[in-house]
Amino acid sequence: MIEQEKIEEILIPENQIKKKVEELGNQISCDYAGKEIFCIGVLRGATIFLADLARYISVPMTMDFMAISSYGISSESSGVVRILKDLDENIENRDVLIVEDIVDTGLTLDYLLRMLQSRKPASLKTCTLLNKVERRKIEVPIDYCGFNIPDRFVVGYGLDFNGLYRNIPYIFVLKTV
């Protein structure tokens, strides 16, 4: 799959991810019992996480995707958020769950929450696989969190570097040259 010399450290192995995704899906199902969830996957990083999570959600659900850019060409968040692809469906009076791959500074999620709240959903919650608390510039509510991780640049399981490594089934720190 990937050459060992590119891996500095495996941060979260595949079996831990699978177990946590199942736990999150079960908790979300309990919390939304009797309701229908409208999941919003934030492209592209959350695609794999949302696909796996959906398999463990037992209540009715639909999904849509948004593409948002806040990084530009560097690995550091610029703080400027652009919507590259908006939702295809209306979320008014719906129970909405934003599914993110990683929450870093909080700037993107804060923008997304404010923008979606203006569309009058019945409820609006967040779910992230990874949470980098150390990098937070603005506090944002995270209702469902997979893992708190240190301030390291990670890839795998949907997260990429120059488009690569999304297909790797674990989270790892990419070795810098």
Q: Which residues are catalytic?
A: 104
Q: In what order do the strands lie in the sheet with 37-43?
A: 82-85, 61-69, 37-43, 95-103, 123-131, 144-148
Residues 6+ apart with CB under 8 A from 74: none
Report d(CA 165, CA 157) in Å as an integer: 8
- Quote the tokens at residue 150: 């240190």
Rounded Cα distance between 67 and 102, Å, is 14
